[in-house]
């Protein structure tokens, strides 16, 4: 059922990173166990705002992502709740084993905040874009992965992560950009629950992160053309809301996944796994193919990687066509 | 207890733990003989002399932490924890069995174990985090303050292998520890000169580990890590150092205690009945 907490207009854009830090400082005021750690990056809020409020509870370890993640596990071992920030690619790429061994394996109460996730952060080029964060981390046992889509859900996800007893990955887009605010502040956010933001019968778009706003736009356009599209905001990648996925498969008969990372093992892979076993239907995956990104503005990179709204729309139309052909 | 008596008692405990750990290894048929025996004296002195801990309250928040970064050297630690009363001695017989708390690398499911090992080069980073955390708990402590005026809530001891010092992250941790002046952190390097498949000097010669830690801003002592009086004195010394982490470079002998295996590459070896018999004789009181 469509959430009642969707804003009527998308006339506001905010930074998810700023929203996260706002929530983090508020949490730290209430709970002395909350600490912030990071490795020279990201600039701005995480150091300045948090550091001003809680100078005794911030740890900058320099450019050392492996040490950053393991030392966060050590902070948790001392009874604290670290929120540990780094570039998505270097968290996943340089600290994969540390996330696995020191955080997930021991179920440490560490919240790893991966910034600049997905391919859309184009400014510094493919070396700094992570396309495999969801695919790589989803394979690690007992690790919750949250992928908020706007500032409101990001603030809620930060609070939920703090309350959650165990390791959490919080996946954020570019720290320097703003994105349309989708939800009203009273959003009912729960880890493990997808949010229906557009009701529909013909096909379902399952999107995550900042591309949820694009998915909604496509659904609204297609509604004008008489196509009834359900849109699910897959706020939690793991544990995946399998109930919502299977219901979408059963009730709409065609699924299109949308993400700004690789389709190989990403959200598209996760949805395909669930439906293949539980309710096989047509699945089309929009995301980064088996390739790296390129330098450029977010808009340029999105177009280059074929993840803009026209590509989403084309995938929806293909899925509908295949669904119709199979029904014959 | 006078110093001499204390050392004597600890030496007897170390012998007993070596004997016990041979039986633990026998459960799997193979064992981490070299590293367990080289670090036996350090582990004994930590758990039975230096560390503030309570086997009845393994999760006591203010306990000193023991981080076995060289997580494979677990049999001696299990023997020590059983001896200390963390779990029944009977449980040693479950070592490496499916579902057992005593896994083939130290694991936090075992009472008394604060860190799961197995992936080398990470333990010192974990120890740095915990040592920093001990200061965060000390009210109003400021990690960035130029002068530390607050007492850490607990101390952290990290046993590091010499082979694992090949791993770059050890040195990220070393730099970070002195940057934050974590004087409640002690690293004990079990310098037995052998790693998995050969001598450390032949694999990747790290030259002087003492010089390295010193250059990273640590206070360093080099000792005979298999001489109990040296180990006790060095651990006492760690408590006197202010504003700097401490490294004890413990020169040890791989397989120390079983003469036929000493200074050989006995990293992970088959444990025979004959070894058990010889071991009980060589290590008797």
According to DSSP, the residues that pair with B283 across neighbouring strands are none
A vs B, Cβ pairs < 8 A, gives 107
CB–CB contact B132 A55 (8 Å): no
Phi-psi region of B49 (alpha: psi -120 to 50; beta: other; left: phi over 0): alpha
CB–CB contact B176 A77 (8 Å): no
CA of A59, closest CA in chain B: separation in Å? 8
Specify the 3-state DSSP secondary structure of A211.
helix
The low-confidence residues of chain B, meaning pLDDT below 70, are 1-2, 138-151
The low-confidence residues of chain A, meaning pLDDT below 50, are none
Looking at chain B, which residue has its C-alpha nearest residue A77? B130
| A195-327: CATH class | alpha beta
CB–CB contact B132 A76 (8 Å): no
Looking at chain A, which residue has its C-alpha nearest residue B64? A78
Residue appearing with tokens 């494979």: B72
CB–CB contact A75 B122 (8 Å): no
Report ipTM (2 d.p.): 0.95
Q: What is the pTM of this model?
A: 0.96
CA dist., res. A253 & res. A281, Å (int): 6
User: Could you give the angle at which helices B3-28 and B273-282 cross, rounded to 10 degrees?
Assistant: 170
| Beta-carbon count within 10 A of B259 CB | 10
Nearest 5 degrees, angle CA A200-CA A204-CA A208?
A: 120
Q: Which of residues 140-169 of B touch A (CB under 8 A)?
A: 140-144, 154, 168-169
CA dist., res. B152 & res. B146, Å (int): 16
Q: Which of residues 236-265 of A touch B (CB under 8 A)?
A: none
Instruction: Give the DSSP letter of residue B64.
Output: P
CA dist., res. A287 & res. A211, Å (int): 10
CA dist., res. B83 & res. B35, Å (int): 19
Tell me what pLDDT residue A92 has. Answer: 97
Residues of A taking part in catalysis: 65
CA dist., res. B247 & res. A187, Å (int): 52
Which of B65, B114, B129 shows the shortest C-beta gap to A72? B129
Pick the CATH number of B3-282 from 3.10.580.10, 3.40.50.970, 3.40.640.10, 3.90.209.20: 3.40.50.970
CA dist., res. A53 & res. B245, Å (int): 28
Which residue from A255, A250, A253 is spatially nearest to A231, judged by alpha carbons? A255
Tell me what pLDDT residue B140 has. Answer: 47
Structure tokens at B152: 């850490």
Burial of B28 (0-12, 13-18, 19+ CB in 10 A): middle
| Beta-carbon count within 10 A of B51 CB | 18
Which of B119, B130, B176 shows the shortest C-beta gap to A78? B130
Structure tokens at A317: 């139309």
| A102 contacts in chain B (CB < 8 Å) | 116, 122, 125-126
Specify the 3-state DSSP secondary structure of A301.
helix
Which of B118, B134, B142 shows the shortest C-beta gap to A78? B134
Domain at A13-180: CATH code? 3.40.50.970
Phi-psi region of B181 (alpha: psi -120 to 50; beta: other; left: phi over 0): left
Structure tokens at B30: 């193979």
Over the stretch B132-155, which tens digit does the pLDDT of each residue have? 999 887 654 445 543 444 568 899
Specify the 3-state DSSP secondary structure of B256.
coil
């Amino acid at each position: 059922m469509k959430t009642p907490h969707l804003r009527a207009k998308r006339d506001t854009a905010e930074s998810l990173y700023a929203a996260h830090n706002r929530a983090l400082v508020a949490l730290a005021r209430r709970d002395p166990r909350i600490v912030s750690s990071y490795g020279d990056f990201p600039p701005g809020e995480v150091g300045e705002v948090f550091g001003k409020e809680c100078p005794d509870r911030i740890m900058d370890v320099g450019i050392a992502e492996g040490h950053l993640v393991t030392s966060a596990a050590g902070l948790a071992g001392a009874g604290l709740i670290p929120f540990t920030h780094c570039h998505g690619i270097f968290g996943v790429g340089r600290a994969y084993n540390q996330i696995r061994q020191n955080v997930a394996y021991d179920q440490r109460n560490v919240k790893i905040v991966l910034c600049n996730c997905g391919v859309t952060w184009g400014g510094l080029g493919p070396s700094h874009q992570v396309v495999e964060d969801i695919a790589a981390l989803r394979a690690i046992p007992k690790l919750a992965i949250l992928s908020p889509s706007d500032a409101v859900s990001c603030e809620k996800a930060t609070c939920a992560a703090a309350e959650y007893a165990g390791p959490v990955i919080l996946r954020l887009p570019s720290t320097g950009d703003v994105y349309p605010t989708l939800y009203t502040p009273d959003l009912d956010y729960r880890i493990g629950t997808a949010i229906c933001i557009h009701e529909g019968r013909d096909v379902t778009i399952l999107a995550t992160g900042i591309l949820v706003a694009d998915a909604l736009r496509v659904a609204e356009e297609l509604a004008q053309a008489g196509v009834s599209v359900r849109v699910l905001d897959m706020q939690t990648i793991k544990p995946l809301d399998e109930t919502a996925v299977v219901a979408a498969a059963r009730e709409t008969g065609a699924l299109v996944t949308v993400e700004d990372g690789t389709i190989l093992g990403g959200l598209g892979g996760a949805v395909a796994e669930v439906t293949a076993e539980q309710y096989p239907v047509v699945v089309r995956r929009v995301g980064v193919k088996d390739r790296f990104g390129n330098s450029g503005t977010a808009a340029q990179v999105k177009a280059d990687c074929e993840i803009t709204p026209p590509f989403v729309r084309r995938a929806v139309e293909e899925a509908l066509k295949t669904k119709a052909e199979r029904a014959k | 207890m006078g110093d001499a008596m204390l050392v004597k008692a600890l030496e007897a405990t170390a012998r007993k733990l070596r004997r016990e750990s041979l039986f633990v290894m026998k459960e799997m048929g193979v064992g981490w003989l070299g590293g367990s025996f080289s670090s036996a004296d350090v582990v004994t002195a930590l758990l039975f002399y230096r560390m503030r801990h309570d086997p009845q309250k393994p999760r006591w928040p203010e306990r000193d932490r023991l981080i076995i970064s060289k997580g494979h050297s677990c049999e001696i630690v299990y023997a020590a924890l059983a001896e200390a009363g963390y779990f029944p001695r009977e449980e040693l017989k479950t070592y490496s069995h499916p579902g057992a708390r005593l896994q083939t690398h130290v694991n936090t499911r075992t009472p008394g174990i604060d860190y799961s090992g197995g992936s080398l080069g990470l333990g010192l980073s974990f120890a740095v985090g915990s040592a920093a955390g001990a200061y965060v708990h000390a009210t109003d402590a400021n990690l960035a303050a130029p002068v530390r005026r607050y007492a850490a809530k607990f101390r952290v001891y990290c046993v590091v292998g010499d082979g694992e010092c090949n791993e770059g992250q050890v040195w990220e941790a070393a730099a970070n520890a002195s940057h934050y002046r974590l004087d409640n952190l002690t690293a004990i390097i079990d310098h037995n000169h052998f790693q998995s498949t050969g001598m450390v000097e032949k694999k990747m010669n790290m030259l002087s580990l003492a010089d390295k830690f010193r250059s990273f801003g640590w206070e360093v002592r080099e000792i005979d890590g298999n001489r109990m009086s040296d180990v006790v004195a060095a651990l006492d010394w760690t408590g006197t150092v202010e504003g700097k982490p401490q490294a004890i470079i413990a020169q040890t002998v791989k397989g120390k205690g079983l003469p036929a295996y000493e200074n050989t590459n006995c990293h992970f070896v088959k444990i025979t009945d004959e070894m058990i018999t010889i071991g009980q004789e060589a290590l008797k009181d």
